[in-house]
Structure 1
């Protein structure tokens, strides 16, 4: 893999990383992003497993819905706890704890003997999913050289989409025998990888170590991935970048750091994009793809295969985002993505309202997935790792992720009810309105973050929000 150049102004704290060290960073990032894979797998696998669980346990419609939705409630709790956990124990230790919780939740679900033990297992899995979804972006942003930071952070979304697709394929593989326990149990394998990585080869991030005064350990990590003569300079840059703003209250810690005026623009961006990512309708397609496709007139059997195809498109377009996110920029991808989502949702709604050919509905659905996966899907996870100042990154990421899971829960819970009330096409038009608003918001308030130090991002945010950025003291 090619080494990075050291042209001034183009890289972040890790400005010039040797080729072998670049490979090391990618290995670390791939291990960390297993948390994203588990996120996708555990949210997707229940769609197939539930077909057999409901018969074995005799579940009512409400119980079936609760088995799906309690994971989202657990995820909200996990995301809320993740910021504290990652700041208190460290990013590496937090990932290790999350790996253990994934294993515990999987074991509870696989060995469930009835409805309540299954619900308990899904809640525990949700806690792990939510915590990992907040920890992974924070960790990746702190080990990533700026030149490939976008690609490393997008790796998380790639692993989420890979996990969803893997869940669909695992469901297909075990569906013939109705082996739902095996479907869920496959999730133990990536959980073991995450746990082993945290125990044996992942480092703690230099930013966290320096913030805790463990400079010697930070130097050891930096020496393994940077030129030796640059280590002292890197330590200084991490210290400067991690200093709270001049308006920060020294007494504030944990969630209270988000109340500082200097952090608020980043918080607005993180929370609004978190909500839009879900209220834009993506998980109505992911969770209810077979139901929606069947509503176009396609048979139930073919609907399942079509949902696998949607999973493939989701994965392929995420790869496209990885290819362009560090060269075309986060902001441009967001604008193009939201414009494409708005247009495809309008057309998708029209296809249902006018009862057009089912093939057209499927085409518009695929276009929507492609637009989402090439922009809003991965870029959201990149931005929450970049817009927050280092001292507020873990809690900022946790706050944004919590809102994301809350919005996910609300949309998933109300989608079919809204469809029954106003119609399928009209529901997709409501999602289109959300995407159109988000397009305006991004154009007005979201700066480019790619290739920039935090101070540059902070200045751009201040300008867009009309806030005069106070000067930092030396």
Structure 2
């Protein structure tokens, strides 16, 4: 089941090491590089919306099976692409699957898991996403160093993603539909049968009551609409959620996860060394999110978020200063690598998981679906803009000025969080709603 998260990570990360041979093969410019990379993210933004709607209409299991097929078709289309335009088309299709997975897989995991294991199982999906990116970096490094001189080697790098897609499809054939979705469709007997497969008989009966309660919460949560957007405190809360998504992406984390190999090459590493060194970004991404999940409930959300942005902004400045002031050579390349790796670790240990957690905690039930949908759409679009703009911006401004720009965004993010973002740890939704009504009504 976590193959969905693994595919999400692999398909967003595989382009990193494949981009240099792909650029040489298809004659990409800085702009068309940005298009080929970012179009997957634009597709994901729409895939998240479409995937959520299809999941509600046809069921979580049905939707994940469909997504596994789309992953396969998108991957094979990318592998066989004769031009960058065709590659971009199939990258967009692949993005629809990535976005659909981001909207469906965590929901399915939350609805099928026992209550006491729900948190650990759902967060495991986040770990699998960064693990998928790390796996892409390692596999790319192995393939490139063994067969880097072979024409079209980037096609083999992309082809590897077919294996987890097939694994996801076969695995889902053996898994049941979400009992919560079945209850929402009035299919109580089937829901009880599913619960009886994964729970004891007594617990299955007891859990049906909770499933009914959660289904009612889901129904209530979908009652928000245009009228609610006319209420000032609701608009402010949604803008804060969208702002968090924007700030998370304009740390530039995905410029490293998508273009890390090229970035390190520009810093001074040779082609073979850059693709190997880039695996450290993947490794410290996994380590960072693991550390983050261990400490996330031990600190206040705002303290951890402000600390995270202070760290990432500091490392942006250090990368920029290293690129600007250090003489060309191995010392400069290694120093930039160290600061980039520390940035990735700091980001994934704090801002990465925290933004998703705060979004899940800050919205009152009635507007939750609407507000989270808008916030995540803004997050995906900001991700896409960073992916689209990074190659031409680096080409025009250089590494140093690009990272100085990220540092400036970091300062603005710190001001935004300090003045606007509420503390959500150990506070009920009712308390948060009352605060915002009082401040902005």
Aligned counterpart, 1:211:
184
Query: Structure 1 residue 195 and structure 2 residue 169: aligned?
Result: yes
The Cα of 1:416 is off from its aligned counterpart by 3.7
Query: Structure 1 residue 230 and structure 2 residue 206: aligned?
Result: yes
The Cα of 1:349 is off from its aligned counterpart by 2.6
The Cα of 1:101 is off from its aligned counterpart by 0.7
Query: Structure 1 residue 459 and structure 2 residue 418: aligned?
Result: no
The Cα of 1:291 is off from its aligned counterpart by 3.0
Aligned counterpart, 1:412:
387
- Residue deviations 1:204-252, cap 9 Å, x none? 151x33433334444444453473563354245325533527x956xx5
Structure with higher helix content: 2
Query: Structure 1 residue 90 and structure 2 residue 66: aligned?
Result: no
SS, match of residue 244 in structure 1: helix
- 1:60-79 alignment to 2 at 5 Å? 62-79=31-48
Aligned counterpart, 1:353:
324
CA distance in 1, matches of 2:195, 2:304: 32
Cα pair distance change 1:326/1:91, threshold 3 Å:
farther
Q: Contact (CA 8 Å) 1:266, 1:461: kept in 2 or not?
A: no
CA distance in 2, matches of 1:212, 1:442: 40
SS, match of residue 201 in structure 1: coil
Aligned counterpart, 1:435:
410
The Cα of 1:42 is off from its aligned counterpart by 1.1
- 1:305-454 alignment to 2 at 5 Å? 305-326=276-297, 328=299, 333-355=304-326, 358=332, 359-387=334-362, 396-443=371-418, 444-448=420-424
The Cα of 1:288 is off from its aligned counterpart by 2.4
- Residue deviations 1:373-411, cap 9 Å, x none? 112222333444555566766665543333222112211
Query: Structure 1 residue 303 and structure 2 residue 289: aligned?
Result: no
Q: Contact (CA 8 Å) 2:312, 2:346: kept in 1 or not?
A: yes
CA distance in 1, matches of 2:358, 2:274: 34
Q: Contact (CA 8 Å) 2:300, 2:423: kept in 1 or not?
A: no
Aligned counterpart, 1:10:
none
- 1:21-32 alignment to 2 at 5 Å? 31=1
Return the TM-score normalized by structure 1: 0.78
- Residue deviations 1:288-332, cap 9 Å, x none? 223333344444432222211111111111121233335556555
The Cα of 1:201 is off from its aligned counterpart by 0.8
Aligned counterpart for 1:128 among listed residues 80, 93, 97: 97
Q: Contact (CA 8 Å) 2:31, 2:392: kept in 1 or not?
A: no
Aligned counterpart for 2:136 among listed residues 133, 153, 167: 167
> Structure 1: where are the runs of 5+ without partners?
1-30
Query: Structure 1 residue 285 and structure 2 residue 285: aligned?
Result: no
CA distance in 2, matches of 1:101, 1:158: 23
Q: Contact (CA 8 Å) 1:340, 1:368: kept in 2 or not?
A: yes
The Cα of 1:422 is off from its aligned counterpart by 4.8
Cα pair distance change 1:232/1:146, threshold 3 Å:
closer
Aligned pairs, how many? 427
Aligned counterpart, 2:158:
184
Return the TM-score normalized by structure 2: 0.83
CA distance in 2, matches of 1:329, 1:232: 34
Cα pair distance change 1:408/1:257, threshold 3 Å:
farther
CA distance in 2, matches of 1:210, 1:272: 35
Range with greater deviation from structure 2 (92-101 or 382-391): 382-391
Cα pair distance change 1:416/1:306, threshold 3 Å:
same
The Cα of 1:100 is off from its aligned counterpart by 1.3
Aligned counterpart, 1:5:
none
Cα pair distance change 1:134/1:387, threshold 3 Å:
farther
